[in-house]
Amino acid sequence: MAMHAGIKLAKGERRVLKKLMQTAKEKREYRAAVGILLRGEGHAADSVARKLGVTIKQVFVWCQKFRTGGIEALRVRKQPGRPPRAGDKAKQRIPWILKRDPQAFGYLKGRWVLRDIARQLKKEGISLHYSSVHRVLGDLGIVRKSPRLRARGSLEKDYRKREEVRRYKQVAAALLKKESLLPFKMKNG
pLDDT in tens, the chain (189 residues): 344 556 888 888 889 888 888 888 888 899 999 999 999 988 999 999 999 999 999 999 999 999 898 888 888 888 788 877 778 888 889 899 988 888 888 888 788 888 899 999 999 998 888 888 888 888 888 877 765 655 555 555 666 777 777 777 777 766 665 554 445 444 444
Residues 23 and 55 in one domain: yes
Single pTM value for the model: 0.46
Shared domain for 94 and 111, answered yes or no, is yes
Is residue 17 assigned to a domain?
A: yes
**pLDDT confidence of residue 34:** 93
CA atoms of 187 and 52, how far apart (whole Å): 72
For residue 83, what is the DSSP state?
Answer: P
Residue positions counted in the chain: 189
pLDDT computed for residue 111 by the predictor? 84
Q: Give the C-alpha distances (Å, rounded to integers) separating 71 from 12, 14, 34, 51, 63.
A: 11, 10, 12, 21, 11
116 and 141, same structural domain? yes
Would residue 46 count as lying in a domain? yes
Flag whether 24 is in a domain.
yes
pLDDT for res 112: 86
Residues with Cβ within 8 Å of 76's Cβ and at least 6 positions away in sequence, in order, are: 26, 28, 29
- How many distinct structural domains can be found in the chain? 3
What is the structure's pLDDT at 148?
60
For residues 86 and 141, membership in a common domain is answered with yes
**What pLDDT is recorded for position 2?**
41
**3 inside domain:** no
d(Cα 50, Cα 48) in Å, to the nearest integer? 5
Residue 5 located in a structural domain: no
In a domain, 185, yes or no: no
92 shares a domain with 60: no
Structural domain contains residue 102: yes
CB within 8 Å of 29: residues ≥ 6 apart: 20, 74, 75, 76
Q: Are residues 121 and 158 in the same domain?
A: no
Domain that holds residue 56: 11-74
DSSP string for residues in 147-168: PPSS-SS-TTT-HHHHHHHHHH
Are 143 and 157 within one domain? no
